[in-house]
Chains A and B, each alone.
Chain A
Amino acid sequence: MLALLLSFLLSAGPRVTVVRELHKEAVCGPGLSVKVLHRYGDLVIVGSALDRVVVDAIVRVTARDEQSATELADKVDVGVMVLGETLVVATVFPQGPVSRFEPSFEVDVKLIVPKTAGLVARNSFGDLVVTGIEGGCRLFNRFGDVELEQCRDCEVLSRYGDVQVSGSSGMLVVDNRFGDVFLDQVTDRVRVENRYGDVHGAELDGVIHLGNRLGKVSARRSTGSLTVVNLYGDISAWVDDSGLTDLNVVSELGQVELNFGPMIPFKLDGRTVQGFIRSSPPLQTDEQGCRVFGVSGQGGPRVQLIGAWADFFIQAEPSDSNDAEGR
């Protein structure tokens, strides 16, 4: 431990960086899936109509002198090979004791893969960006952010970084711990479980589940069926699209802020054991102040709130002239 910290302090001496570029291509026939194993740099994967895998990489190696840096850079490679029904792309670093060179390896990889091929990608100590994959993907990342765009049927397992998903469809599962999750224009079936960061969703459509423990959760302009479960963090939800069919909010301890857009009819029933409820007409609370309910207009989403120690702050407006009858 002390040696590591000392090495940080002693690393200020003169150093030389060598940059090397790699380019490789390989045919990826129908039925092959693609597996990518990478570390120490960003990994960008783009789905295309091509039937091949194209690798472009930039290798940066820093060492005490140019000879050492060049020698090490020559040993860094991005291997492409077919193993059974999987085309494997793996970044390879020098083996054995290299610490005498006090090196730094960084490899940024851009990969073009067939968009219909199934994809598994692992990265650590770098970001992972995946775009346009339609054949399904499983992404694992540690110590870096994940960006997923225009993909279908994806599972993201992330630790120590943020996850951002936009324009994706099909089944989406996000399991994150130390970081935030951002969802934008994601449709179909979504399940997010986060723990120590926030979860933000906008324009989600389908059957959506947003779960969290210690961070905040917010959801805007959602349609379909939305469930938000948070144990200890706050929840902000908006019923601001008439396409929302039902909203279920469960909060153990965090505050729940619920906002209704104008002219959106709804039916609401909420209860909290030990929290406060603050609401406005057309909503009513019971005598004990732990239940809130009300109807505005006809149709619209069914909203259910369940809290244990959670406070509810509900901002509602009458939807139209039918409101009085609805109550």
Chain B
Amino acid sequence: MTKQHHSDEILSAYLDHDLEPQLAEEVGRHLEECPECRKVLEELTAVRDAARSLEQLEPSESTWYEIQQRTRKRARPRLAWVWTGVAAAAAVVLVVFLVGRRPAGAPEPEEFAELPSSREKVEAGLVQEYEDYLCGLEAAIEECEAALSENPHNPRVRMAYLEARSSRVKALDMLVCGGD
């Protein structure tokens, strides 16, 4: 048995069949003999299955990893108001996939019963935020188009228009295929 445990990223990629064949084979052999890594894999599988049961727009684990990397690296240009929202939202939704961290056996104290935030509610709220966010971008695009009909070569209007369209494409792209 390989002594070193595999990282969550490797196991997640193994789960998604994203590993090179040789590495996948090695991880598979390790998993046969390592109960700890098998347990981690089971947890990752459970998270992935839970994610699949959510709204249809939820992308894969690797997508969120990609988003996280991007939000850390991306510098914020002028008039990047729209992108900021996507980045923030993406970073937050990433967290959703990491919840459920409390051990399954741990009971929730009765005193928290008044807090209405079930996981379903949180996820439904996030989906609503995304929808509102996209609606906001649509409204921005419409408003810019109206302004362009009056002032077709104004640089600010053009920049806002292109930024809104570009951000909408990025937002949809991120949701559908991870932004690549």
Contacts and interface: CB of A to CB of B under 8 A. Distances in A.
B120 to A, nearest CB: 12
A103 B99 contact: no
Contact of A126 (B88, B93, B156): B156
Nearest to A7: B152
Given A104-B154, A125-B157, A254 B95 contact: yes
A246 interface: no
B89 A253 contact: no
Contacts of B125: 231-232, 252
Contact of B156 (A15, A143, A233, A271): A143
Contact of B88 (A62, A105, A233, A309): A233
Interface residues on B, range: 35 or more
B31 interface: no
Main secondary structure of the interface of B (DSSP, over half): helix
A167 B179 CA distance: 41
B160 A160 contact: yes
A178 B82 contact: yes
A308 interface: yes
Nearest to A177: B136
A162 B99 CA distance: 31
A304 to B, nearest CB: 14
B148 interface: yes
Given A160-B160, A179-B81, A40 B154 contact: yes
Nearest to B133: A196
Given A232-B126, A288-B109, A308-B115, A274 B101 contact: yes
9 contacts: A4-B145, A4-B148, A15-B153, A40-B151, A104-B154, A197-B88, A253-B122, A273-B112, A274-B108
Q: Give me the 7 closest cross-chain CB pairs, A-B, nearest first.
A: A196-B85, A308-B117, A104-B153, A232-B92, A178-B81, A179-B81, A214-B88
Interface of B: 81-82, 84-85, 88-89, 92-93, 95-96, 99-102, 106-109, 111-112, 115, 117, 119, 122, 125-126, 129, 132-133, 136, 140, 143-145, 147-158, 160-162, 164
